[in-house]
Amino acid sequence: MHITDIIRGDSPTFSFEFFPPRTVEAAEILYQTIRDLESYMPHFVSVTYGAGGSTRDLTHDLVERIQHTTKLDPIPHLTCVCHNEEEIERILLRYARSAIGNILALGGDRPHEIAFEKSRDSFQHAIDLVKFIRRFNESGVHPDPRGFGIGVAGFPEGHPATSNRLLEMDYLKAKVEAGADYIVTQLFFENRDFLDFRERCALANIHVPIIAGIMPITSMGGLRRIAELAGGAHFPARLLRAIQRCENDAEMVKRVGVHFALEQCHDLLDNHVAGIHFYTLNRSDATRVIFDSLGIPRRRKAQSPTA
């Protein structure tokens, strides 16, 4: 299903992110998570992409498995890192044949496990990938005459590689003008940052839907991992203070993190957010607690599995 059919503007979307498992045990946890969350009928689920190829085949396999065996609508990530045009075209053809409706086009993280020289990549920036997907769409290969819906990343706290915030908005606007249909933000813990980002997008004449990325903190280890994965993430003092009060009680840390994320979601909904995207870390429990507490009726219909 094309993203423009999913995001209609009259009600917010709810979606989840998974990452490809690296072990049999991790695969079982993930598939249980997918089973747990499928009943919530999210508007879509996204699947991350390994830097430098470490989990790329796993991503493709997982995307197609979700598409063919569940009612979920998968949106795969696609990155610029360590790719040439022929490889990207093959991936797009594979996804088109499986009737995958949308792609999230990202710059990608620098790989640490392999030698990497960015100048060798065919796509230097996410906008180059957006343009390439747009040209693919115009070829008419995709079963949907509109081709793939194209998403890009947004950074409410600022892009870690761009200190000039005015220039950052110019780059984002260029991606939208190149063909991006929607924006999914990096995780954040201060809603003021998101609301300010959304307002600055409007001032820059960026008018595509902006979906807010939320990641509940469920453990001290999770807090440290978030700090590492989302470099520069701003942790509000009130959140850190609440966690420090109970840092030796794992269950209480989880309750504090879930409660904080739930308050974020309520406030975002009050401010008419286009959608909320939950970074699940392949676990369902915190996301289910939040979703149930929001009091949102479950969707009655979801996309049927593709034959």
Q: State the pTM of this model.
A: 0.90
CB 277 within 8 A of CB 184: yes
**Cβ-count burial of 2 within 10 angstroms (0-12 exposed, 13-18 middle, 19+ buried)?**
middle
Residue 259 CA: distances (Å) to CA of 25, 210, 232 = 29, 23, 23
State mean pLDDT over 223-239.
82
List the catalytic residue out of 17, 64, 157, 168: 17
Q: How many CA atoms lie within 13 A of 190 on its CB side?
A: 15
pLDDT (0 to 100) of residue 303: 45
pLDDT, tens only, 232-253: 788 999 999 999 999 999 999 9
17 has catalytic annotation: yes
* pLDDT at 230 > cutoff 90: no
CB 272 within 8 A of CB 230: no
CB 280 within 8 A of CB 18: yes
Q: Work out the pLDDT band at 304, boundaries 50, 70, 90.
A: very low
Q: Which amino acid is at 128?
A: D
State mean pLDDT over 266-277.
96
* pLDDT at 53 > cutoff 80: no
Q: What is the CB neighbour count within 10 angstroms for residue 263?
A: 11
* pLDDT at 71 > cutoff 60: yes
More confident call, 165 vs 132: 132
Coil vs helix vs strand at 287 = helix
pLDDT, tens only, 88-142: 899 999 999 999 999 999 986 665 555 545 556 666 688 999 999 999 999 999 9
pLDDT, tens only, 166-205: 888 999 999 999 999 999 999 999 999 999 999 999 999 9
Tokens of 98: 């499986």
d(CA 286, CA 73): 21
CA angle 183, 47, 112 (to 5 degrees): 95
pLDDT (0 to 100) of residue 301: 52
